[in-house]
A and B are shown apart, each in its own frame.
Chain A
Amino acid sequence: MMTKTQRVKPSYELFDHTADMGIRVTAPTMAELVRPASEGLYAVIGQLAPDAAEPARPVNWRLTGAEPAVLLRDYLAELLMLFERDHRIVREPVVAEFAPDRLAVEAQAFKLDQVRSVYQHEVKAVTYHALEIAVIPGGYRATIIVDI
């Protein structure tokens, strides 16, 4: 008898990787990987709180020319850049498109509240090491390693 596979819930977990850290993300669709992947990256950096007094700024990325796992990595590298350069984080990113060769994301970027934020790690880079998006029962699983 056929059983209906349950769709996995969007979520992330952090895992150990020698001197660095890994983020394992699951979601029912590739597009839905983006939000928990963003949250996972921020969770590695620390407990990041937006500054409610500062107006948010719209940001968007249109990434092309690579396979989906690399596009997701490229997107996270953009988030890291936004964090380091502008001290901003995004909340609830909206994926306009996640096709095999392109990823488009729009979001609001909030200034960090330096008082309420607690930092844990400086992320040097989102690496290509063990990078993958795998199809799993009920959805997708992305694996990303960040260099600490």
Chain B
Amino acid sequence: MGDEYTGPLERVDAYRWRIPKSYKPGMRVDGIIYADDRLIEHIKSDKSPEQVANVATLPGIVTASLAMPDIHWGYGFCIGGVAATDPEQGGVISPGGVGYDINCGVRLIRTNITLKEAQPLMEKLVDRLFANVPCGVGKGGRIKFKRAELMKLMEEGVPYVLKRGLGWDSDLAATEANGCIKNARPDYVTDHAYERGNDQCGTLGSGNHFMEVQVIDHVDDASTAAALGLHEGNITVMIHSGSRGLGYQVCEDALKELRGVPEKYGISLPDKQLVCAPVRSPEGERYLGAMRAAANFAWCNRQIMTHLARETLAEVFGRPAEQLGMHLVYDVAHNIAKMEPYEVNGERRMLCVHRKGATRAFPPGHPELPQQYQAVGQPVLVPGDMGRFSYVLVGRPEAMEQTFGSCCHGAGRQMSRGAAIRASKGRSIAKELLQRGVIARARGRTGLEEEQPDAYKDVIQVVDVLHNAGISSRVARLRPLGVIKG
């Protein structure tokens, strides 16, 4: 039996496809998938469009159940899914709409180091990053927090770790939500979650998480790139990680606690994995409080790794990080649920926006953006794969009108892990990457094979859909030079 989607997909325009709400009983809104003719064929090959339709049944969902072009099959929600619910209309919060890795996200650090200066030191740099940044299964962090400290960290977010000297004041404005979602409730984080993640703040993890040294290879929009401090030929550092074991366990605990809760509130679900609770319910508030604490943990995790990267580059290039111009360009979450105001049918409403494998993409002038990005819009960081490119985009006004200020989050896999390993037989992925000018180090036995470039779609296809649809616009392309993985 095939896993392909066989339901309706109606073309809206060159970059949007509709699953009409008449498709299945219980759909309250349409499903909308962003894709071009090429990508939609791939998207239909799994059940992710069915998941878009399922999400459209959630109580209080507003406008549409959305999916970005990097959509693929997830747990309940598809990866690449966006759903906004209105708490005043019985809207729900669903942990499946956030994912296990709460506030998995990406940050980009720029430098004034040129490719010419970096090239002779690249192998040393990658080796030193590999030694200094804890990564891989079971690796604890270099910076330890006692339980009381971790509780403060989860409540206060990045400002807490800055007080410990693990970053620069300017990092705050360059982090989504200034690195702290308000109303976090560390006291709702269970002992299990605490015990699982207490030594993992400041660790990269495994799977598709990475730290990458890149060069700004091409600039699409020179004035916006300049406003972001990005100049062709300069080196950047990108970090992709999340809330580690603590966040995974917060999700695990919530999925258990919410068993039976939909029935309690008379909510009928087409898929048990969409388990949820009204935002305005004790169960919903409990998950949101714990999720926010895990999100703040994740921002601190990436902040501490930024500190380790700054220390390492300073050591390798023999100049302080400040002299290397290692400013944070931006940090964005792509697995999160946040309360955000939107205009819906001419009415201002505070919505609970779930982004699961989708990045916030606010346009110029949005009040949540820092002063330095008011004129250009929020930087959107879209990692590709370790052999080709990643992209920096900025949000456009159409994102607010169409996607609840959301954009894609990556290339999306096109090969399973097993298939990638099988495709690597008789090859050395490390050598192939080296031939492309990428030095790669990985701790896992098959990490490079599973994460090889061919395992992912070409990110440009994904980025171009949203660029052409007017949701975001391309600013710069980043080419990998060195990567470390767990």
Instruction: Write the residues of chain A forming the contact surface with B, with a CB cutoff of 8 angstroms.
Output: 14-21, 45-46, 65-66, 74, 77, 81, 84-85, 87, 118-122, 124-125, 127-129, 147-148
Complex CA–CA separation, A16 to B248 (angstroms): 21
A15-B418, A125-B252 given; A46·B273 CB < 8 A: no
B427 within 8 A of A: no
Chain B 229-252 near chain A by CB (<8 Å), digits 1 or 0: 000000000000000010011011
A46-B445, A119-B445 given; A124·B101 CB < 8 A: yes
Asked if A81 and B192 make an inter-chain contact with CB atoms under 8 angstroms apart, the answer reads yes
Complex CA–CA separation, A56 to B482 (angstroms): 42
Provide the residues of chain B in CB contact with A74, threshold 8 Å. Answer: 256
A119-B445, A120-B444, A122-B207 given; A85·B252 CB < 8 A: no
Asked if B273 and A119 make an inter-chain contact with CB atoms under 8 angstroms apart, the answer reads no
Provide the residues of chain A in CB contact with B245, threshold 8 Å. Answer: 84
Interface of A is mostly: mixed
Asked if A148 and B207 make an inter-chain contact with CB atoms under 8 angstroms apart, the answer reads yes
Provide the residues of chain A in CB contact with B196, threshold 8 Å. Answer: 81, 84-85
Complex CA–CA separation, A77 to B252 (angstroms): 8
Residue of A nearest to B247 (CB): A124
A124-B248, A125-B251 given; A119·B444 CB < 8 A: yes
Residues of B381-395 at the interface with A, using a CB-CB cut-off of 8 Å, are none
Complex CA–CA separation, A148 to B137 (angstroms): 11
B24 within 8 A of A: no
Contact of B137 among A15, A85, A122, A147 (CB under 8 A): A122
Give 24 pairs: A residue, B residue, CB < 8 Å, sorted on A.
Answer: A16-B416, A18-B72, A18-B73, A19-B207, A19-B208, A19-B417, A46-B445, A65-B259, A81-B249, A84-B138, A84-B245, A85-B192, A118-B445, A119-B443, A122-B205, A122-B207, A122-B486, A124-B101, A125-B100, A125-B248, A125-B251, A127-B75, A147-B100, A148-B417
Complex CA–CA separation, A119 to B259 (angstroms): 33
Asked if B206 and A122 make an inter-chain contact with CB atoms under 8 angstroms apart, the answer reads yes
Provide the residues of chain B in CB contact with A20, threshold 8 Å. Answer: 417
Provide the residues of chain A in CB contact with B208, threshold 8 Å. Answer: 19
Complex CA–CA separation, A119 to B466 (angstroms): 38
Complex CA–CA separation, A118 to B446 (angstroms): 11
Closest chain A CB from B253 CB (angstroms): 10
Provide the residues of chain A in CB contact with B138, threshold 8 Å. Answer: 84, 87, 119
B441 within 8 A of A: no
Complex CA–CA separation, A4 to B371 (angstroms): 76
Contact of B72 among A14, A19, A21, A45 (CB under 8 A): A19
Provide the residues of chain A in CB contact with B322, threshold 8 Å. Answer: none
Residue of B nearest to A77 (CB): B252
Provide the residues of chain B in CB contact with A21, threshold 8 Å. Answer: 417-418
Provide the residues of chain A in CB contact with B249, threshold 8 Å. Answer: 81
Complex CA–CA separation, A19 to B79 (angstroms): 10
Residue of A nearest to B413 (CB): A19
Closest chain A CB from B60 CB (angstroms): 23
B255 within 8 A of A: yes
Asked if B136 and A119 make an inter-chain contact with CB atoms under 8 angstroms apart, the answer reads yes
Provide the residues of chain B in CB contact with A87, threshold 8 Å. Answer: 138
Residues of B50-84 at the interface with A, using a CB-CB cut-off of 8 Å, are 72-73, 75-76, 79
B195 within 8 A of A: yes
B419 within 8 A of A: yes
Provide the residues of chain B in CB contact with A65, threshold 8 Å. Answer: 259
Contact of A85 among B75, B195, B443, B446 (CB under 8 A): B195
Closest chain A CB from B16 CB (angstroms): 24
Provide the residues of chain B in CB contact with A124, threshold 8 Å. Answer: 100-101, 207, 248
Q: Residue among B100, B136, B417 with the most chain A CB within 10 A?
A: B417
Complex CA–CA separation, A129 to B192 (angstroms): 22
Closest chain B CB from A93 CB (angstroms): 20
A84-B196, A147-B75 given; A128·B272 CB < 8 A: yes
B46 within 8 A of A: yes
- Beyond the given pairs A119-B206, A122-B486, 7 more chain A to chain B contacts, judged by CB atoms under 8 angstroms and listed by A's residue number, are A21-B417, A77-B252, A87-B138, A119-B445, A121-B137, A121-B444, A128-B272
Provide the residues of chain B in CB contact with A148, threshold 8 Å. Answer: 206-207, 417
Residue of A nearest to B414 (CB): A18
Closest 5 CB pairs of A and B: A122-B206, A16-B416, A119-B137, A16-B418, A124-B248
Asked if B205 and A129 make an inter-chain contact with CB atoms under 8 angstroms apart, the answer reads no
Provide the residues of chain B in CB contact with A85, threshold 8 Å. Answer: 192, 195-196
Chain B 427-460 near chain A by CB (<8 Å), digits 1 or 0: 0000000000000000111100000000000000
Asked if B248 and A66 make an inter-chain contact with CB atoms under 8 angstroms apart, the answer reads no
Complex CA–CA separation, A45 to B208 (angstroms): 15
Residue of A nearest to B206 (CB): A122
Residue of A nearest to B48 (CB): A18
A125-B252, A128-B255 given; A120·B416 CB < 8 A: no
Chain B 313-331 near chain A by CB (<8 Å), digits 1 or 0: 0000000000000000000
Asked if A45 and B137 make an inter-chain contact with CB atoms under 8 angstroms apart, the answer reads yes
Q: Residue among A19, A119, A128 with the most chain B CB within 10 A?
A: A19
